[in-house]
Amino acid sequence: RKVGDQVYDTLTSNSHVGPTLNQDSTSLFDAGHSNYVASGSGAAPSVTTIDTAKTAMGTQTDPSGNAILNISPRYLVVPKALETSSMVLMTSQYDPAGTTTSISRRDSPNPFQNAFEVVSEARLDSSSHGNLTTGWYLAADPSMFDTVEVAFLNGVAEPYISEEPEWD
């Protein structure tokens, strides 16, 4: 639990904009990085809000601002309060926000059907993380882009005592 607590503390620190980055002295999640959507923040995932976030993620540039990074999301990370509605959004053939008046007429198709894997995390609901029950994140495929990495010294995740035989 401690490791998970530390990961989510880092992501949600500094009023949910993450830690300050060394290379530009700006928060990890910032409109200047094109990875933070201020308008509509606090809005639950929907076709509209995910489209805005996906566009912001894809159009990010390198620190010099010269190269577009073209990062595509693979994961939708949500608090438990948004897990069910996010799963419905990710599996629905049609936009869940739309209305259907008859079987023969459907509203807009859902362009995000099966597009992302939903990862729900109760730590995002907790008061220690500021009751972020409407906040959510998109994360890239870690095999293609650097995302969140948790590492351990020599791969050992638990503390241990090393007992050496007698030595001089």
Mean pLDDT of 15-19: 67
The more confidently predicted of residues 43 and 87 is 87
**Residues 63/75, Cβ–Cβ less than 8 Å:** no
For the segment 153-159, the average pLDDT, to the nearest whole number, is: 78
- 44-69 average pLDDT score: 85
Instruction: Provide the CB-side half-sphere exposure for 149 (13 A, CA).
Output: 9
Tell me, what's the pLDDT at 127? 47
Tokens at residue 34, please?
A: 């094109």
* Model pLDDT, residue 136: 83
Q: Is pLDDT at 37 greater than 70 in this prediction?
A: no
- In the DSSP assignment, the letter for residue 19 is P
HEC readout, 61-125: ECCCCCCECCCCEEEEEECHHHHHHHHHHHHCCECCCCCCCECCECCCECCCCCCCEEEECHHHC
Q: What is the DSSP letter of 164?
A: P
Quote the pLDDT of residue 114: 95
| DSSP 8-state assignment for residue 138 | E
Q: Say which residue, 91 or 97, is predicted with more confidence.
A: 91
Mean pLDDT, range 16-29, rounded to an integer: 71
- pLDDT of res. 22: 67
User: Tokens 């601002």 correspond to what residue?
Assistant: 65
**Mean pLDDT in the chain?**
78
Rounded Cα–Cα distance for residues 110 and 115 (Å): 10
Segment of 29-33, 62-66, 83-87, 126-130 carrying the highest mean pLDDT: 83-87
Identify the H or E element spanning 12: helix 2-16
CA distances (Å), origin 125, targets 47, 50, 55, 92: 22, 20, 26, 25
Reported as a pLDDT band with limits 50, 70 and 90, residue 105 is very low
